[in-house]
Amino acid sequence: MNLSVMNKDGQNTGRSVSLPETIFGIKPNEHAVYLDVKHHLANQRQGTHKAKERAEIARTTKKLKKQKGTGGARAGSMKSPVFVGGGRIFGPRPRDYDFKLNKKVKDLARKSVLSFKASEGKISLIEGYQMGNPSTKDFSKMLKAISIDGKKTVFYTNGVNSNFYLSGRNIPSVTIIPVQNVNTYDLINTDVVVFEEGAVEVLQAILS
């Protein structure tokens, strides 16, 4: 599959890049995508939740009332979960939500989403865009020129491009990430995927 390279004005440069079938042309594996997205979201959780149980509550343990003859249930401590302000039963404790996911499964998930996006024509290529100074105005002009203004878009750059990143970070619909950090969640959570020229070769080396 060949994809034409556009410039910042949305014009065809006359160059094209061949997208490798092993990455952009496989049959998507939905379960691998599910596992990788689940793994990504699990890693975002801090896991610092905590509720005090009855052993951690500072309340009196004095016998509240006599054991028998009141017509009610026995009560021996204000720490009991049945009273307001008592300890919580089986409350949440700090924990790590991470789980092991094989690298081959993660690679398959990314290939699956890239293949799905390619089949729907939602992948574009732009030539290396070097900016002398950060300019959100120029970045917005480029989005309009390549017809993706207002669409949720992920730009994958060939390495860190500071001025390019600073120019687009204030646009809510745009995410700019070095291609070395490609992940399934960002790919599936976008309308359009745009690769900087040269980033496809780096991606192929990562996923090969």
Q: What is the pLDDT of residues 164-189, one digit of tens each?
A: 899 888 899 999 999 999 999 999 99
> Is-contact 5 16, C-beta < 8 A?
yes
> Quick one: pLDDT at residue 117?
94
Over residues 35-50, the mean pLDDT reads 95
* Sequence ranges of the domains in the chain: 2-45+98-207, 47-96
Closest CA to 123 of 151, 104, 150: 151
Sign of CA dihedral 153, 154, 155, 161: positive
> Is-contact 28 179, C-beta < 8 A?
no
pLDDT at 129 over 80: no
Over residues 16-30, the mean pLDDT reads 91
Over residues 57-62, the mean pLDDT reads 89
pLDDT at 1 over 80: no
Residue with the bigger pLDDT between 29 and 127: it is: 29
Mean of the per-residue pLDDT values of the chain = 91
Q: Does domain 2-45+98-207 have CATH number 3.40.1370.10?
A: yes
Over residues 43-59, the mean pLDDT reads 94
Range in 4-13, 87-96, 97-106, 189-198 the model is least confident about: 4-13
> Quick one: pLDDT at residue 187?
94
> Quick one: pLDDT at residue 61?
86
> Is-contact 179 158, C-beta < 8 A?
yes
